Amino acid sequence: MHARTRSIDDGDEDGKAKALGLPGVALAVAHKILTAVKGLWIRSSPWLMLVDIRKLSCPESVGDALHRFRRNTNDFGYNYTLVLLFVAVACVVTKPFSLMVIAALAMLWVWVFYVRASEFHYNGQTYSLRAQAVAMVMFSAFVLMIATNVSQVLMGGLTGGFLLCVGHSVVRAPEPPPEGDAEAQGIVGGFTEAVSGAAKSGYSQLSGALGQMGDMVPNSVRQQFDKVGINF
């Protein structure tokens, strides 16, 4: 009942946001992003525990380093995710051009999938929202990786943040499991399982979206591919 009520409330909020146009939808998307970040903050381990220098030590072997990485990633995975998000935002904010490019792409995504949110008809072809999503991903990748240097800015900062998180997970001694629970994964745990579940769900959705790519291929081109044994 609570889940159904929540879904109805979310639908009402989305409807109100759409009624306000692009600014209202942008505010609704920003609210969802802040809610997601707040959820990461709530799930994260205590930050004082993360930066406790008394826990820092060199691993005794490669096996010990891998053990520390696995345990600390599971315990502090949400903290590491917030660190990476902070680094990404800092990289974008310090580069005004990158900020404008990402803002323009974000507005385009919002307009296509929240304001317009309908099938696209062109030259006798109908393109579903999934097909439009594939096209938007390809266009965004072209803009970020080829047309501009935004991807280099982000990858440079994220690589540094990733190496910092990996280094911390290796040199920090993991917390001992609770007494009487030899199978415990750490003080908080759950991050590894959450990522695995999200990856499986994302793969399923991506497979469904890629299955709609045939909608973007005109019939004449599809027939030519059929002749050589390539089916869409």
Q: pTM of the predicted model, to two decimals? A: 0.64
Residue 7 φ then ψ, to 5°:
-65, -40
Express as a percent the part of the chain with pLDDT over 90.
16
Q: Looking at residue 96, what is its pLDDT? A: 84
Q: Looking at residue 163, what is its pLDDT? A: 93
Which residues have CB under 8 Å from 76's CB, separation 6+?
A: 44, 45, 50, 168, 169, 188, 191
Q: Looking at residue 217, what is its pLDDT? A: 54
Taking a C-beta distance cutoff of 8 angstroms, is the pair 54, 63 a contact? no
Q: Looking at residue 210, what is its pLDDT? A: 54
What are the sequence ranges of the domains in the chain?
44-115+129-215
Q: Looking at residue 168, what is its pLDDT? A: 93
Mean pLDDT calculated for residue range 158-185: 78
Q: Which residue has the higher pLDDT, 214 or 124?
A: 124
- Asked if residue 197 has pLDDT above 70, the reply is no
- Asked if residue 1 has pLDDT above 50, the reply is no
CA distance 176 to 139: 47
pLDDT digits (tens, 9 = 90+) for 101-135: 888 898 888 888 777 777 877 777 777 878 888 88
